[in-house]
Structure formats: structure tokens, C-alpha cells
Amino acid sequence: MGDTKRVLFRIQTNLMRIIFFVYEHLDGFVIVHGTDTMSYTASSLSFMMEELGKPVVLTGAQKPMAEMRTDAIDNLQGALVIAGTLIIPEVALYFNRRLFRGNRVMKTDAQDFHAFSSYNMEPLIKMGTEINCNWDLIWRSQKPTKFSISHGWNPNVALLRIFPSITATTVRSFLQPPIRGVVFQSYGAGNGPSNREDIIREIKVAIARGVFIVIISQCQTGIVSSAYAAGAAFAQAGCVLGADMTPSALAKLSYVLGLEGLTATQRKELLETNIRGELTQADLTKFSLSNSTFLQSVADSMKASTEAEIHLIKASLFPCLMCSAAKEGNFQGIKKLKEDGGDYSMTDYDGRTPLHIAAAAGHELLVEEMLLDGCPVHKKDHTGCTPLTEAIKNKHFQIIEMLRNAGAVLKCSQQQTCNELMMNVVGNDLDAITAWHAGGADLDASNYDGRTALHIAVARGAEDIVRFLISQGCDPERKDNFGRTPMSEAAEQEEIIELLEWGLSMKDPPPNET
């Protein structure tokens, strides 16, 4: 991508649009990027890509691929493996065998291969002889809606680092229009010049004028707090305390200010809220092995004492328990297991997740609750089936609709789709064909002979199925590889011929010849 020091918002927008247009056809995405501004792009994309359900991984290299001892090959291979095999619905940055959340990472070394760090959060993945994924940290949206991109973005934001001798004139100049938002890097836990009434006055004037000010720390680790008087002065002046956000707060500020139709209060609430995993909210509690009653009880009975042993117990028991609870439609059981360290990405021996099983069993309320809790919808089992495929095969129409609204896409080849439709035609199962259509199947899909479900339905005299296929726009004049059309298959079946002629009448008339 060239010298990414000159990467513009336009390029980031183009990246998003490319991903959006091919999103349904691919399992993950890798963006090769220069390292100097890669963390800024990762942070920006993490906010601009909404309800992401697939991995978007940025990577680069300290030394170009053509040079000896390059790190480019290792970084690119690792990024491709992660994007192609794991369902991590985040914008992330992969470097030196570590995967970091895109809005939590910073470049910290200009020469070492270990160039990126995420001080306030562990890496999502540590790559060694095995891929060790910290599933407890994976961010999942709790809005079961389709992937979209945000077109709102306000570039009028800036970063100001506080220092002891900074003048009120400097602060005033920095806060002048067209600036709409500023990230202040303060001392320690959010401490600032509380004894500088002139600076506090300039901050209050700017906030009254509609400028949003977010306070983050100059320290690499720690959290901004109003516990100290100096930190409380910023909060009392109307600033937003940015918790443990990195300079990625700039990207969040641009995103929030670019959203239309929000009041100042709503924007401030969004800035204080964890919307993409970019900050740690003090009132959120995270699971740890030490406070899991169930796991600890099992560990005690098995005389397991180390954390590694407890992790092995968890990996062995929890997938079976969560899938069993899903089969019974027991959301409270799944919820308790999840609180004890379970994860919706856990699979049974067939690679099926709890959502696969709940969708197949038709537990509508359970599926709805799991989707609201951020359950991934794109996971494939060992046969290539997704939860959407399971819902289709079992004709659970309400679940099909919920999954599609949550962004699920039917991942079958044209020939696979055609084979399923043809088997249902042979079985005279109109409900099954309707389910495949509701799931997004192409009813005009053809097999290796070029024949479609309509060819077979006409040949077998399945009038109800023919009526449905025609009503959904299937082509009565579609030729197979032998030149036969559904119309030619109809022979003397008068009622079916009438249906096919009805289908022909609904087709767009040919353009007038000149």
C-alpha cells in the first residue's frame, strides 16, 4: 500500500467498502499494511465496521519481504491462518506471533521484531507450536444484526499531551474551531493541572462551545480515575474520563462525533461506554479460574491443583456440557457455564457449537438469547454446516429469520444447493424447499447437467412445487446441457404448462427492436 504515513481516510473507507462487497463470500480478511500507522488504521476500522462477525486482521513487517531475515513471511502466514480458521469477530493486528485487538495496540519499537504491544490487555492469541486463543477476551457484539459500515466520521479531532509548563494560550489555541474533539494525555491516573484555573477555564469554555475532551493517561499501563483531586478536576469540568484507552481514543472520538442525530449527552455516554472492547469499564466483572465454583469443585475431586490442569478440565468438559444444555433448550444452564468460563465457540466432537445444536433442535428462545449474548453465527462444523444450514434442514423458519438478521449467510456451492433442492423435489417436500429459499438459496441453481429444481419438479408433475418455484421467479426457459427447458419437460401436463406460461408472462418483456 505504499508509504502508509500518508494513508488517508479515503483509503480506509475503500478498504471497508471492498470488505463489505465481498463479506458474504469469504470467511476472513487480511490487510497488509505499513507498520508506522497500522495501529491507527486498525483502531479506525474497528469503530467504522459495525456488527462484525468475521476476522479482519492487519499485518506488516519490520523488514521487507525481499530482504534476508525478514519477518514478513511469518507475519503474513500467521495472519492468514487466523483469518481463515478462527471465528474472531474483531478488527485485530497480528505481529510477531501475537494477535492484538485493533483498538488496544500501539507500535512501541521501531527496530525490534516485537514491535507492537497492548499494555492494558493480554493478546487475543499467542502463536507457538499451537494456537493459544484466549476466548474469554474475544469481543462479541450483543446486537444480532447484519454487518454494516459507518459512513459518518469527523476528522476534526486532535491529541494534546499535557506538560507542567503548558500555557493557557496554547490550550486555548488548540481548542479553537474547527476542532470538535480533543484527547488529552494527562499524568498518571488522569491527573492534570488542577491548580491552574486558567487552563481549567479554557477547558470549560471549549466544552460549553460543544467540544468533547477525553482524558487518557500518558502511562502505558493503568486507568484514568477521578480518585485523585487532580483527576476529579477534569471530570468536574465536563471532560470524559477515558479509562484505559490508548490513543485509539482519537478514532473513537472521530466515530462518535460522526454519528448523526445524537445529543451531546448521548455522545458523551457513548464515549464513556465500551462499544468495541476499547476500554475496561469498572463495573464489568470478568471470569477467572479462581472464582469458578463448578470448575474448582471438579478440580478438587480430581486432585487438580495447577491452572494448566484446570484448563484441561475446562477444555474437556465444557463443550459437552454446553452442547447438552443447548440440546435441552436450557439457556440458564448455558448462561451459568458461560459465567464459569465456557464459550460459545466451544465445539463437540463433530465441530458443532451450542448454536448449531439449538438451531437444529428448534429452540427459538434459546437461539434468540444466545444471539443477543454475542454468539457467533458463521462457525462451520466438520461437515461444513453452519447454524443456518441446520435451521434450514430442520425447517425452523423463525430461527432462519433470526440467524439471517444476525448476519448469517448460506455457505453452499451452487451444486450443493441444487442437490438439496432436487432431493426435496423428489420427496415432494415443499416446506423444505421453502426453508432453503428463506435461508437465501438460489432456487435456479443448477447441477452438473445444468438442470434445476424446476426441471425436476416439472418432470415429476409436482404441481405445488412448480407453482412455488415459478412464483419466486424461476426461469421456465432455462436450458440444461442437453437443450431441454422446464417447458419442454411439461409434455401434456396442461396445469403445469399453464403455470410455466404464467411464469413467462411475468418475465421482463424484451427491449423494442430498432
Digit-coded pLDDT (tens) for 210-249: 999 999 988 888 788 766 665 677 888 888 988 889 888 9
Beta bridge partners of 132: 126
Residue (of 143, 158, 115, 139) closest to 279 by Cα position: 139
Return the percentage of the chain with pLDDT > 90, whole number: 45
Mean pLDDT of 64-70: 89
Catalytic residue among 4, 35, 167, 246: 35
Beta bridge partners of 148: 50
Q: Which sequence spans correspond to the domains of the chain?
A: 4-149, 157-272, 289-361+373-384, 414-506
Is 389 one of the catalytic residues? no
Q: Report the SS3 class of residue 207.
A: helix
User: Which CATH number is 289-361+373-384 given?
Assistant: 1.25.40.20
Q: What confidence category does residue 259 fall into, taking pLDDT thresholds of 50, 70 and 90? A: very high
Q: What is the pLDDT of residues 267-284, one digit of tens each?
A: 999 999 999 999 886 543
Secondary element (H or E) of residue 338: helix 331-339
Contact present, 22 and 53 (Cβ < 8 Å): no
Secondary element (H or E) of residue 215: strand 212-217
Q: What is the pLDDT of residues 199-210, one digit of tens each?
A: 889 999 999 999
In whole angstroms, what separates CA 476 from the centre of its chain?
A: 40
Please name the residue that has the C-alpha cell 419437460: 489
Please name the residue that has the C-alpha cell 454494516: 148
User: Going by CATH, does the domain composed of 4-149 fall within 3.40.50.1170?
Assistant: yes
Peptide bond into 486 cis (omega under 30): no
Q: What is the dihedral of CA 470, 475, 481, 483, to 10 degrees?
A: 100
Same CATH fold, 289-361+373-384 and 157-272? no
Question: Which comes out higher in pLDDT, residue 140 or 458?
Answer: 458
Tell me the fold of 157-272: Rossmann fold (3.40.50)
CATH class of 414-506: mainly alpha
Q: Report the SS3 class of residue 71.
A: coil
Tell me, letter by letter, the H, E, C secondary structure of 358-399: HHHHCCHHHHHHHHHCCCCCCCCCCCCCCHHHHHHHCCCHHH
Q: What pLDDT score was predicted for residue 421?
A: 92
The average confidence (pLDDT) of the chain is: 85
Residue (of 147, 149, 144, 148) closest to 401 by Cα position: 144
